[in-house]
Amino acid sequence: MIASHFPFALENENANPAPGSQNSAFLEEKAFRARTVLVFGTITDVLAAETVRRLLALDAESAAPIDMIVSSPGGHLESGDAIHDVVRFIDAPVNMIGTGWVGSAATHLYLSVPRERRVCLPQTRFLIHQPSGGAGGRASDMALQAKEIIKARERIAAVIARQTGQPLERVREDIEQDLWMPAVDAVAYGLVSRIIERRSELAQP
């Protein structure tokens, strides 16, 4: 029974469902059977936990590829880190599919797979930039936060350089300010391997 491998289904099947919840559960199960994970909206610890549960459940179900569709402006860097690392941790290969916009921490998790498994739809825009912080409080705390932001910036720059093939120095310069890229430019930069319009194109090299 699929529910045994479906921890993100409704927990109490006997409870009176809220309006629309039955349809939501149906769509969740269809997405599970299609081995598709959606990452939409701001990346938070809640979204990261939900995404990681889906990835682990699908990985336990089968080693077949998982399609992850990403449309997010970014969000909490460490929550993006969690998704990034779990994508690399599981055995099932993940196809990253960008749509809408993929920015900041969302670009970071998008880069968790090899370039050949990173595709996007035609209207997708990508954003890379350095981590931001709202340092406040005592001077010593602000200095510590500034050091941590610099460390995070170097780490993110290293990931972008490694996954795109761009020189690290160029990436450091590029992320000093917001760098927006339409799909064609993202392919040229190395963020994306190719632009697709149909799901059937995922299987093509």
The catalytically annotated residue of 104, 108, 112, 193 is: 104
The catalytically annotated residue of 72, 108, 112, 129 is: 129
Burial class of residue 56 in the structure, from the number of CB atoms within 10 Å of its CB (0-12 exposed, 13-18 middle, 19+ buried): middle
DSSP string, 68-109: EEEEE--B-HHHHHHHHHHHHHSSS-EEEEEEEEEETHHHHH
* CA–CA separation, 49 and 193 (whole Å): 28
Can 129 be counted among the known catalytic residues?
yes
Can 104 be counted among the known catalytic residues?
yes
CB-CB contact of 156 with 129 (8 Å): no
125 residue type, one letter: R
- Find residue 118's DSSP bridge partners: 96
Q: At what angle do helices 77-89 and 45-61 cross, to 10 degrees?
A: 10
Torsion sign over Cα 119, 117, 164, 50: positive
Q: Please tell me what DSSP assigns to residue 117.
A: G
Locate 205 and state its tokens: 């090299």
Q: Which residues are catalytic?
A: 104, 129
